[in-house]
């Protein structure tokens, strides 16, 4: 989805801008974290079937049984790379707009959530626009002031010159995804990205 959005934006950009696919990397071994494409690891202990030899009471009292170790698996840190988009200005390389498609780890407690929350706070405190696309029904929604929408999917467009105000597109599963604006510098017209068409394209290309 990130790649499809990048291509759709790049085809509309003037020579004043370029799209950069950035990577947020961290190592995670948090219990309960969901890694897309990586099976969950479980630590299990299974009793070893011992021969059913019943020693006599005299042998039990005179012989000390040596404890045998159990073979277990440790949760190892896994390298996680999450991609997001920056629309940057040619010449200065300044980030004009950040576009995030939330992953399951962004919405569950752990390092993925912490890393994204810090990135979100930095973006909101800067002159960079933020477009946050949440197409996940599970997990904790990103904070907004007031009562959050109960609908399943949420797309936030936060223009830096209109904060703390922002536009929230809240949709149910039955509604098509909207065409959303991608804000640029004040003197330039916003782009339009048809998310439903891009999602259909991704499903077809990935043979879902």
Token duo for residue 198: 């891009």
Reduced to 3 states, what is the DSSP secondary structure of residue 23? strand
Reduced to 3 states, what is the DSSP secondary structure of residue 170? strand
Name the residue among 100, 103, 98, 126 with its Cα closest to residue 113: 103
Q: Where would I find the beta strands (DSSP E) of the chain?
A: 17-28, 78-89, 95-101, 129-134, 153-158, 167-171, 179-182, 191-194
pLDDT beyond 70 at 48: no
Region label for 186, one of left (φ > 0), alpha (ψ between -120 and 50) or beta (otherwise): alpha
Q: What is the distance between the alpha carbons of residues 108 and 114, in angstroms, rounded to a whole number?
A: 9
pLDDT value for 120:
94
* Average pLDDT score, the chain: 83
pLDDT beyond 70 at 92: yes
Tens of pLDDT, residue by residue over 11-43, are 999 999 999 988 877 776 654 444 444 433 334
pLDDT value for 60:
52
When pLDDT is averaged across residues 46-61 and rounded to a whole number, the result is 50
pLDDT value for 112:
87
Given a contact cutoff of 8 angstroms between Cβ atoms, the answer to whether 166 and 156 are in contact is yes
In the chain, what percentage of residues exceed pLDDT 90?
A: 55
Instruction: Give 19's strand partners.
Output: 87
pTM: 0.75
pLDDT value for 177:
95
3-state secondary structure 93-120: CCEEEEEEECCHHHHCCCHHHHHHHHHH
Torsion, CA 135, CA 159, CA 196, CA 143, rounded to 10:
10
Buried b (16+ CB within 10 A) or exposed e, 35-49: eeeeeeeeeeeeeee
- Whose structure tokens read 């950035």? 22
Torsion, CA 199, CA 182, CA 143, CA 111, rounded to 10:
70
């Amino acid at each position: 989805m990130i790649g499809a959005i990048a291509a759709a934006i790049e085809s509309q950009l003037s020579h004043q801008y370029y799209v950069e696919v950035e990577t947020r990397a961290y190592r995670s071994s948090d219990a309960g974290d969901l890694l897309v494409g990586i099976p969950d690891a479980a630590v299990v202990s299974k009793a070893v079937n011992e021969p059913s030899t019943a020693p006599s009471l005299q042998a039990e009292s005179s012989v000390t049984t040596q404890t045998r170790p159990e073979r277990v698996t440790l949760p190892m840190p896994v390298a996680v790379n999450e991609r997001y988009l920056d629309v940057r200005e040619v010449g200065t390389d300044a980030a004009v707009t950040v576009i995030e498609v939330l992953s399951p780890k962004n919405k569950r407690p752990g390092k993925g959530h912490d890393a994204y929350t810090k990135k979100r706070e930095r973006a909101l405190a800067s002159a960079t626009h933020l477009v946050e696309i949440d197409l996940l029904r599970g997990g904790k929604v990103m904070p907004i002031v007031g009562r959050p929408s109960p609908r399943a999917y949420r797309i936030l467009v936060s223009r830096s010159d209109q904060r703390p105000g922002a536009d929230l597109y809240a949709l149910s599963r039955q509604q098509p995804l909207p065409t959303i604006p991608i804000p640029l510098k004040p003197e330039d017209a916003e782009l339009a990205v048809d998310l439903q068409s891009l999602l259909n394209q991704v499903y077809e290309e990935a043979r879902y």
